[in-house]
Amino acid sequence: MISADCHGGGEIHGYRDYLPARLHAEFDTWVAGYEIPYPDLKGDLGPRNWDSDRRLRDLEADGVVAEVIFPNTVPPFFPKPSLTDQPPAANAGDLALRWEGLKAHNRWMVDFCAAAPGRRAGIVQIMLHDIPAAVEEIRWAKEAGLTGGVLLPGTPPGSGLVPMFDYAHYEPLWRVCEELGMPLNHHTGSAAPPAGETDVDKVVFLTEVSWWAHRAFTHLVVSGAMDRHPDLQFVFTEQGTAWIPEETRRLDYYWHRMSTAVGSQEYEWGSELVGRMALKPSEYWARQCHVGASFQRPAEAKLRYQVGVDRVMWGSDYPHKEASHPFSREALQLTYNGIDPVEVAAMVGGNAAKLYGFDLDALAPIAARVGPRVEQVWAPLAPEDIPVGADKCPAFVGVTGVKP
């Protein structure tokens, strides 16, 4: 088991050593006013993000031998304690400080991955306000050993960022990632506009946040990025799986109308764009896209042939509240029982190993010691065997017999 969706970050004071000395005083002022935003970053739970030994113990107890690590803790100098809800920078100086804070996180991530060689693929964070600087950071990350690729931020309305479908603006970014074999990871959260603080605001955010993330696929297709860079790989993580067949069919329908329905509005607006592309959206998906299928549900596993068995990468979302941890063994059994073990092995580990460069031979002894066996995943999960508390995780949604 390789989790393609885990999260981690440094203890907030620990970022100081990764900042230039000239910013230490400013950091001390900033951190003095920082408030930890979430219960799972406080007390005994917080160290799961940065305590290497504890993290290894937790993941091994859950059957997981390696992980792809997205950020979790807020980098220095960011104005709000939520990674998914940051206002635009107030000025150039504010933006420059945030960039230094983000780079501090990246340098912490290098050391954190080095503490467990071959078992962590750290993802490098960038900002889109300065593409040359982002390209330079990506080259540094490749050299430094961050094998998880690049976290591609969203470009929500009101952010002041150039929309992702602007091919010319982002061409240097696509080019360097293809050149270096660095996957572009788009995680749910960053593409949504800032939300308010009322209960209505929060519910709207919760119900729409994945939809905003899905838009990135359309924008990347129409930009021509996938067409011009056929070796560039994209990962859409913690956005669900069921949306993919429907969205690719919907876009294929438009592609067909825009290329054949002479006299239609679709043809008038889209024939030129479609005419310069070699493939349909579903074909770009099959060639270049992957889903970080966090806590995949049984109904989603049934769609695996439509999504592509070789495109699915299971994730536990450790250490988040909704993570399948510490019930990942049961989650796998619930979702993948009765499925060809070769397909299961690909979806829960092999596909991630191929994309992110994990050495399966090196991980095999650990898997033999801690991982679930084929016969354990193959057998259906009895309702009475669902652990207490498992319903916190979406993998168990709708399952009868969950104990109160």
Whole-number pLDDT of residue 403: 47
CA 356 – CA 185 distance, rounded (Å) = 11
Alpha-carbon distance values, 286 to 106, 244, 262, 305, 360 (Å): 31, 11, 28, 11, 24
Whole-number pLDDT of residue 180: 98
Q: Which 8-state DSSP code applies to residue 168?
A: H
pLDDT in tens, 229-253: 999 999 999 999 999 999 999 999 9
In this predicted structure, the answer to whether residue 398 has a pLDDT above a threshold of 90 is no
**What is the phi-psi region of residue 145: left when phi exceeds 0, alpha when psi lies from -120 to 50, beta otherwise?**
left
When pLDDT is cut at 50, 70 and 90, the band that residue 397 belongs to is: confident
When pLDDT is cut at 50, 70 and 90, the band that residue 374 belongs to is: very high
pLDDT in tens, 170-198: 999 999 999 999 999 999 988 888 788 89
Q: Look at residue 312 and tell me if it is in a domain.
A: yes
Q: Which 8-state DSSP code applies to residue 386?
A: S
CA 338 – CA 275 distance, rounded (Å) = 44
When pLDDT is cut at 50, 70 and 90, the band that residue 390 belongs to is: very high
CA 68 – CA 220 distance, rounded (Å) = 23
Q: Look at residue 161 and tell me if it is in a domain.
A: yes
Q: How many domains does the chain have?
A: 1
Read off the tokens for 348: 């829960």
Residue for token digits 């764009």? 273
Q: Look at residue 65 and tell me if it is in a domain.
A: yes
Overall pTM > 0.75: yes
Whole-number pLDDT of residue 205: 87
Alpha-carbon 82 to chain mean position:
16
Alpha-carbon distance values, 172 to 50, 100, 143, 159, 231 (Å): 33, 21, 18, 21, 15
Radius of gyration of the chain (CA): 21
Mean pLDDT of 88-112: 90
Judged on CB neighbours under 10 Å (0-12, 13-18, 19+), 167 is middle
Q: Look at residue 404 and tell me if it is in a domain.
A: no
When pLDDT is cut at 50, 70 and 90, the band that residue 265 belongs to is: very high
Q: By C-alpha distance, which of 18, 16, 47 is closest to 30?
A: 16
Q: Look at residue 115 and tell me if it is in a domain.
A: yes
pLDDT in tens, 151-162: 999 998 888 889
Q: Residue 113 is part of which domain span?
A: 2-396
Domain CATH number, residue 224: 3.20.20.140
Q: Look at residue 295 and tell me if it is in a domain.
A: yes
pLDDT in tens, 301-328: 999 999 999 999 999 999 999 999 999 9
CA–CA–CA angle 289, 292, 295 (5° rounding): 150
User: Could you give the 3-state DSSP secondary structure of residue 167?
Assistant: helix
Q: Look at residue 402 and tell me if it is in a domain.
A: no
In this predicted structure, the answer to whether residue 402 has a pLDDT above a threshold of 90 is no
Q: What is the DSSP string of 37-106?
A: --GGGSTTTGGGGT-HHHHHHHHHHTT--EEEEEE-SPPTT-SSS-TT--PPPSSHHHHHHHHHHHHHHH
Q: Look at residue 401 and tell me if it is in a domain.
A: no
CA–CA–CA angle 383, 387, 391 (5° rounding): 85
User: Torsions phi, psi of 238, nearest 5?
Assistant: 50, 45
In this predicted structure, the answer to whether residue 217 has a pLDDT above a threshold of 80 is yes
- Summary count for the chain: helices (H), strands (E): 17, 9
